[in-house]
Chain A
Amino acid sequence: MGNDPVVRMAGISKSFLRVSANREIDFELYRGEICSILGENGAGKSTLMNILYGLYRPDKGKIFLKGKEVEIDSPKEAIGMGIGMVHQHFNLVPTLQVWENIVLGKDRRFILNKGEACRSIAKISDSYGLKVDPEAFVWQLSVGEKQKVEIVKALFRGVEILILDEPTAVLTPQEAEALFSVLRNMVKGKISIIFISHKLKEVLNISDRIVVLRRGRVLGSKRTRETSAPELAALMVGSNESFKVKGKRRSPGDRIILKVEELSAPSDMGYEALKNISFTIHEGEILGLAGVSGNGQRELAEILNGIRKPAAGRVHYLDKPIPFVSPDALVRSGWARIPEDRMVQGVILNLDLTDNFLLENHCDSDFRYGPFVNYNKSKNFAKKLIELYDIRPPLPDVPVKTLSGGNIQKLILAREFSLQPRMVIVSQPTRGLDIKALTYIRNLLIDQREKGAAILLISEDLDEIFELSDRIAVIYEGEIVGIFSDKAADRIQVGLLMAGLAVDSTR
């Protein structure tokens, strides 16, 4: 550390349309350090790093690499200069195998040498503890596994500067800790790391230096040793804004709303993703399902969302077995479903807010006469929900793609909860959202609980699980390895179970 910076960005400004994402940002990265960029969603972290990675051109400002001014016009040039980036949304080709994705664009020979590629992948995997199966197809991988592939891909290209955009969003505490030790090993060599995050705790844990961004400006650059969580939080969210999730008041009822019995299902890869899963959820209860991604949560969510059929087992809803015919039947009987991949399954980005609100109820007699949709009524319905859920911009006829992630999630919840559900299936409700939107969404879930809905909360965010759940179930390799009541649950124990380290007494 010390001496001259490897990267210096001076006076960087960038605006999109009328919104400025970066304003006069100065940023430095020194050799062999981990520098975190901390800020809420929309603070301009990703924009700044995308500029460094050659994806965006800055409107103003200069970039110096090892003291020399450079222009980075494309990720290819960035990689050539030794800058790698792992994005929050992955850039992998789903139909190709892992090793093919890793050598993509790097191995330029006519015939690819698979053996050689797999050997070097194995070497990288071993030395950093990043386990990937080079022959798996990317579409078969879970989100967490895809991220590992992305990191290996960057390392395979021999980068010296690695940018990680919210890398821990998909990892367990243990895995995150493992990643951190990998990162610490990497910086001991000659690699410098930029770590983008909005999670205070991990930033304090991993970085040497922390740069706080808010609304496109740098609000401070602190050495980790010389700062504290409250100081950073204040910088990050502005003064004294307090975000608090409401407390739970009612205790869960006795009535069993959902009863899942010995449910089994294969994954897309053909192995058993769910093995004899059983649990119940009561009226006014939130059951949190904790687990690392890729342990069967996706399959479970898809079955309960009505878009995948189980191989065996029964699901009873209000004492009646549910037929796995269509999502429609579930919605009609009072299920609200919030999908994991909100951009793909939750909304239609090119259509406007009104059309998106209509997705599940355009057939209701409320909005329909004969073969026609009552668009006047629909628009008023949209306006009502927009106001009730404070969705911005409050315009029913703009395409949803112009909304931020938090507002898109609000839209989905507004739509689902407008049907007064008795059963709520929600996956990763706050992934990638800033603290304000996240608090809002969590409060909405609590509201539904207070109204008596049974909620299955599938989340990889332990804070969220602990904050919201009445009971916590842990899933590992397709099995429920423990169910705890709110008070009996212990973070360390849950974390260990998530990582597959069974504690005898809990079984």
Chain B
Amino acid sequence: MRIYLQRRPPLPWWGIALLPIAAVLLSILFSSLLIAISGVDIFNAWYLILTHSLGSRFAFLETLVKMAPLVFTGLAVSVAFKASFWNIGAEGQLYVGALVAAALGILPVKLPSFLHILLIISGGFLAGGLTAAIPGYLKARLNVSDVVTTLLMNYIIILMIEALLNGPWRDALSGWPHSPSILESARFPIFVARSRFHLGILLMLIAVGFVYVLFKKTALGYRIKVFGENPQAAFFGGIPTGRILVIAAFLSGGLAGLAGVGEVCAVQYYLISNLSTGYGYFGIVIAVLGRLNPVGVLLSAFYFAAIITGGQGMSRMTGVPVYIAEVIQGITLLCMLAVMLFNEYRLKIE
């Protein structure tokens, strides 16, 4: 008997949509094994995950709150990857956005809330964008490896922020390393009473729409797509490749910066060094699982957010370590990568 892979004709649209679902089902299967190993009833565990993420109005809204930063970093990574700019630095760009939000949020000037928030959003986007534009420019100009620069910049940024939080910004009263609380006028409005359903979630949907239109309708999106698929043809065709790469990097970094803005202005109200639990890195998983498509990103971010909130609840009730949520995410990525093989191949056994 031999097992081998054979090329297959392109899948129809429903087949392409089915692949991520298959990956999710597989990951549920594999993570169930881990849950079983920790001595907990599998069905009860999944029931708890489900009820704690989607089971009540409160749980559902919490899932949406968790989802917002994941959508932003997922979009950030998909824009970058479309341009073949391997941005592993969404985490750092998120922190730069958060830093700017925290700084602008304590500006000692009286501003109407909507202006203040607009200022913070633009500032956070710009700062995150410029942060990513640096490795973008280095790649365009000197062909410096984007993977290395974006990844290492994360450490520079996060450690500098820690220095800031432990130095000048340390809370004078409590001594905790967090920045001063941002002003009321800088806080995102809450739309649903007794919840954290905030402006950022609306912003997230706008961002999804923006990225969708960018690649479906605009000349810039077209150029990014062409450049990412074949930089040589793009150059031959007269597309200013260096500029396009830097612009794509900028947009990517800006979207990641918005994730940080949301966390500061709607969740924490100040900057702390563990503001993100790896949202920037999850963004990569989410972008790949969502196949670099904004709607796909939205769906996969929703899945991960549900796993995170549900996993926390399940962990509280059963004693399974809370890290199970991250383990499930890792398994999901591996399953997705394995399943994507079947996009172009079929398994033959004879």
Residues of A within 8 A of B (CB): 16-18, 57, 305-307, 326-331, 337, 339, 344-351, 355, 358-360, 362-363, 368, 371-373, 375, 399
Contacts and interface: CB of A to CB of B under 8 A. Distances in A.
Contacts of A375: 216-217
A371 B220 contact: yes
Nearest to A363: B219
Contacts of B10: 399
Nearest to B217: A372
A372 B232 CA distance: 24
Interface in B160-219: 216-219
Interface in B236-266: 236-240
A373 B218 contact: yes
B225 interface: yes
B230 A348 contact: yes
A371 B237 contact: no
B9 A351 contact: no
B230 A349 contact: yes
Interface string B27-54: 0000000000000000000000000000
- Chain A: interface secondary structure? loop
Contact of A339 (B226, B234, B236): B236
A17 B236 contact: no
Contacts of A306: 238
B332 to A, nearest CB: 25
A3 B31 CA distance: 64
B225 A344 contact: no
B323 interface: no
A346 B233 contact: yes
A342 B239 CA distance: 17
A345 B9 contact: no
B316 interface: no
A348 B226 contact: yes
Given A363-B219, A371-B220, A372-B219, A351 B226 contact: yes
B218 A360 contact: no
Contacts of A372: 217-219
Contacts of B155: none
Contacts of B230: 344, 347-350
A305 B216 CA distance: 30
Contact of B229 (A326, A346, A348): A348
A350 B236 contact: no
B235 interface: yes
B226 A17 contact: no
Given A359-B239, A363-B219, 14 more contacts: A307-B235, A326-B240, A344-B230, A347-B230, A347-B233, A348-B230, A350-B229, A351-B225, A351-B229, A355-B222, A360-B237, A362-B222, A372-B218, A373-B218
B141 interface: no
